[in-house]
Structure 1
Amino acid sequence: MGIFHSIRNWILISLFVASTGVIYGKLFFPESPIYIGGIFALFCGMPLLAFERRMFLPRLNDWMHRLPTPAFILSALVVDFLLMSVGYATAGSSMKLLGLVKASWEDLTVLKIDVYIYAVLVTAIVIFIGRVRELLGRDVFSSLLTGRYRNPVQEERVFLFVDLVGSTAFAEEYGDLKTQAFLGAVFGAMAEPVRRHKGAIDDYIGDAAIITWPLQRGVKNANCVRCVFNILDDIEKNAETWLKSYGRVPRLRAALHGGSVVTAEIGVDHHKIAYFGDTVNTTARLESLCKTLERQVLISSDLARRLELPEGIIKEELGEHAVRGRDQHLGVIALHTQDRQALKTVRGRS
């Protein structure tokens, strides 16, 4: 489903980029067929967006982003011009060879300055919207755009709290700057599994991330549970890279709970979608139980009853536990994969 979502996004972006080319053609070349402007726009604009997304030449992209701002802007303009020039020449040559246009080779292969400026502006708008969407999160961006939570709404949601173990000791050993880089890399590793399983990263608090789903989306196909173990599996698969870069592999604790919350848009200069209610607090308390119970992943019995666990996930009933700030005890279940359960048994015997 994550691949489908990504393909759908690229189709929508492509249609938007093509439409800007059609508009340009209608404004400045009204006699030309409308598809010509659309084809030029796609060949000029899409490589820039793909480069921005690090789909090709990722090392060049990373190097540019490490430059001081003036040097970055200059290098970006040069790279953009080169990519658009290649795209423009490719589109023009292709249409010329296919007999779709009759203009001269020079007109069809040499990028004009006005076309370059127009393409840069269109691409900048697309990139800006994408960056704001990433900054706020997909769900928050669309909710703020539509004003869905302008008035408080009561709804049911799933929450996942993921906490990095040993961040204080890491900071004492390596210092605050490297700790921040380590945290950033850990949070970055969560992004793709969250996106893949239709969740949204709501906030980062210290060394913890808060991830959420509308209840139906979170329990469908056990998205919330799959997300946790995908994050853990991805980190383990890249253990050598973590060791090489930071001297250790991140260890995480995670807790899942769901229930009723009040969701509202708050703030004046800085707007945010906020969640209020016992469900959020209970999830935080459940995550703190991970350390007490010496378990890596916990889920409340209430939430576990609402979903079917994926194949290969083992559940361990831990009974009911008192949770600070909650009158009633909470049923707690530990989740393991078969490999992790076997590893835990071996460690327990040693």
Structure 2
Amino acid sequence: MPYGRAGFWITIAGISALFGALHGYLLNGGPSPVGIFYGTCIGLLTIAYERGVFFSGYGKRLRRLPTLAYLAAAEASLLLVILLGLALTGSVVWTLGLTDKSFLEAVTPKISTIPYALVVSALLVSALRVRDLIGSETFASLIVGRYHRPVSEERVFLFLDLIGSTTYAERHGDLAAQELLKAVFSVIAEPVRRHRGQVDDYVGDQVIISWPFARGVEKFRCVACIFAIRETLRSNRETWVSQFGFVPELRAALHGGSVVTAEVGVDRHKIAYFGDVMNATARLEGLCRETGKPVLISDAVLARLPALPDGIEAEALGPHCLRGRSEAMVVHALAEQRVRKTAEQSNSSAETEAECVSAVLGLVARAG
């Protein structure tokens, strides 16, 4: 299990245990180990349900309902999960001999416990949905106020752009294009989490991902993330073709350096980045179209990588003058070695075939 995911569940368990202790303090004359155990189990079960660990298909069907029907069904479902959790936890407590109650008393929750558990669970679920909406690291930064004052820091940025999305929208309409983007963005999320990046923003058909510089270059995470995303898209080829008629492809640009990070906004707060690095990365992504290379990386990032992932190689493209920048940027293209070898083999085969045709024509001419 990745550290980030393990850390998430450990945090949820700790918060749930605290609410279990608070329940004992408010309603039972003081916290107790059994009360803390109840709180931990209920919290974990509730969040596991909300995260789709179990009954994921049911949760997806609920989200398709109209808003009012969804809210009513979601609250009723949450209540059922809590009641089931209380009964299961009570049976465990009774089986372990941690209570003097009868089995029926142990699995039957107190009336006062149900609204408390419902309110606490709703608070946890709401907080997690806000966290999902703005990103886990952004959520944590807003909570602790890390960027109340602007901070200068080094970050690596990955700009991903979906190739052909505009053409797809023209052929199939904006709603169909939105379904395509939603599906692609959903697939991107897991590789980004696995390589400890964070999705900072979605701009049309573009995704902006970043890492603190040291974390991004450590174990070449920023590069490995790109090719993990590309491989994930390719591995589900049949699904993409059946649903959308083609396999999505992405252009990718990696650049990094010093930026100013600050919390901005009044009614709606967000963490924003300021500096030439952001503009340069956007221009580098545009250079993918001009060079015909799907993945480009600046020398500023490549030079600080300890190595490249196995099977990935860099091709030097030299300095390029990017629009809006006075200084040229040294750029490299990244590609999987097997792709290049296949292309080289194809070129070699074509050259050999051409040579054979030329030789045959020469023989025919001499025979004539």
TM-score range (shorter-chain normalised) is over 0.9
- Residues 65 and 113 of structure 1, relative CA distance in 2, 3 Å threshold: farther
Q: Which residue among 111, 119, 122 is the counterpart of 2:120?
A: 122
Contact 2:311 2:338 in 1 (8 A): no
In the other structure, the counterpart of 2:310 is 311
Of the candidates 216, 223, 227, which is equivalent to residue 218 of structure 1?
216
Report which stretch shifted further, 138-147 or 277-286.
138-147
The question of whether the paired residues in 2 share the 8 Å contact of 1:43 and 1:84 is answered with no
* 8 Å Cα contact 1:151/1:265 also seen in 2: yes
Contact 2:153/2:258 (CA < 8 Å) preserved in 1?
Answer: yes
- The residue aligned with 1:97 is 95
How far apart in 2 are the matches of 1:194 and 1:90?
36
Any unmatched runs of 5+ in structure 1? none
Return 222-231 or 97-106, whichever deviates more.
97-106
TM-score by length of 1: 0.94
Matched, 1:23 2:14: no
Once the two structures are superposed, residues 235-291 of structure 1 have per-residue CA deviations (whole angstroms, 9 ceiling, x without a partner) of: 111111111222221111000011111222222222222211111111111111111
Quote the residue 2:186 is aligned against: 188
CA distance in 2, matches of 1:266, 1:79: 37
Q: How many angstroms apart in 2 are the aligned matches of 1:130 and 1:46?
A: 13
Q: Which residue of 1 aligns with 2:319?
A: 320
Secondary structure of the 1:13 match is: helix
Structure 2 match to 1:291: 289
Q: For structure 1, which segment, 85-94 or 127-136, has the greater mean C-alpha deviation from structure 2 after superposition?
A: 85-94
Q: Deviations over 1:112-155 (max 9, x none)?
A: 34322111111111111111112111222222222222222222
Partner residue in 1 for 2:338? 339
Partner of 2:80: 82
Which one-letter code corresponds to 2:33 in the other structure? Answer: Y
- The answer to which of 40-49 and 184-193 deviates more is 40-49
Give the match's secondary structure for 1:112.
coil
Say which is worse superposed, 303-312 or 110-119, in terms of deviation: 110-119
- The percent of aligned pairs where both chains have the same amino acid is 45
Local SS of the residue matching 2:2: helix
Question: Normalising to structure 2: TM-score of the pair?
Answer: 0.89
Match of 1:68 in 2: 66
Q: Is the 8 A contact 1:163 1:253 kept in 2?
A: yes
**2:133 match:** 135
Residues 255 and 286 of structure 1 are in contact (CA less than 8 Å); yes or no, is this contact kept in structure 2?
A: yes
Give the Cα–Cα distance (whole angstroms) in 2 for the partners of residues 103 and 84 of structure 1: 20
Shift of 1:100: 1.2
Answer whether contact 1:43 1:90 (CA < 8 A) is retained. no
In structure 2, the partner of 1:164 is 162
Contact 2:82 2:118 (8 Å CA) reproduced = no
2:256 paired residue among 250, 255, 258: 258
Contact 1:25–1:36 (CA under 8 A) maintained in structure 2 = no
- How many Å apart are 1:43 and its aligned residue? 3.0
- Offset, 1:301: 1.3
- Comparing 111-120 with 55-64, greater Cα deviation is found at 111-120
More deviation in 97-106 or 246-255?
97-106
Residue 41 (structure 1) shift: 2.1
Q: Is contact 2:88-2:107 (8 Å) kept?
A: yes
Question: Could you report, residue by residue, the CA deviation over 1:197-249 in whole angstroms, capped at 9, with x for unpaired residues?
Answer: 11111111111111111111111111111111111111111111111222221
What secondary structure is seen at the aligned counterpart in 2 of 1:213? strand
Query: Relative to structure 1, is the Cα distance of residues 270 and 70 closer, same or farther in structure 2, using a 3 angstrom cutoff?
Result: closer
Looking at structure 1, the residues matched to 35 and 269 of structure 2 have their Cα atoms a distance apart, in angstroms, of 38
Gaps of 5+ in 2: 351-368
Change (3 A) 1:85 1:151: closer
Superposed, 1:245-284 pairs within 5 Å as 245-284=243-282
Structure-2 separation of matches of 1:312 and 1:237: 17
Structure 1 residue 345, shift from structure 2 partner: 4.2
1:112 aligned residue: 110
Q: How far is 1:323 from its partner?
A: 0.9
- The worse-fitting range, judged by mean Cα deviation, of 49-58 and 89-98 is 89-98
Q: Give 1:98 deviation, angstroms.
A: 2.3
SS at match of 1:292: helix
- Alignment length, in residue pairs? 348
Structure 2 vs 1, CA of residues 15 and 146 (structure 1 numbering), >3 Å: closer, same or farther? Answer: closer
Q: 1:184: how far off?
A: 1.3
Larger Rg: 2
Q: CA 1:214–1:183 in structure 2 vs 1: closer, same or farther (change >3 Å)? A: same
The code of the aligned residue for 2:8 comes to N
